[in-house]
Amino acid sequence: MAAQNFKNHTRFYPLFHFILMPILLINLILSIIYTVKHYTLHAHLAPWWIVMSVALILIAGVARGSAIKVQDRVIRLEEKLRIASLVSASELIELDSLTMEQYIGLRFASNAELPDLARRAIRENLTQKQIKQAVVSWRADDYRV
């Protein structure tokens, strides 16, 4: 596996992206086709199949979104602790205004460049993407959900 960097750091979760969601989308398409073709035979059941198909997609989306939100909160905590171990108490107060998105971008910065990049992120109001692009010594994150 190639070393992680800005160009290859995005990740698909195969079970979700390539198995679960395609199955749920096919189910929705088939339910719509069935409803159009057989509405007169199953006027109540066929539309309900569409409703349940949409509900299953929404459940999958909420489950994925919840996992990502928890992951983001853990990243924020990890980065706050990492920054706290690398800067003085007075600098820590200054860096307390980082946003969730900025913490998420900073997770890829090495310890050597983290404090300066965090200060720059606040000063220049850098986005997550801009922070990731500014990382010189990439710190891989191979355990994302």
pLDDT tens per residue, range 6-32? 887 887 889 999 999 999 999 999 999
User: Any bridge partners for residue 109, and if so which?
Assistant: 138
pLDDT of the residue at 1: 59
pLDDT tens per residue, range 66-82? 999 999 999 999 999 99
- What average pLDDT does the structure give for the chain? 93
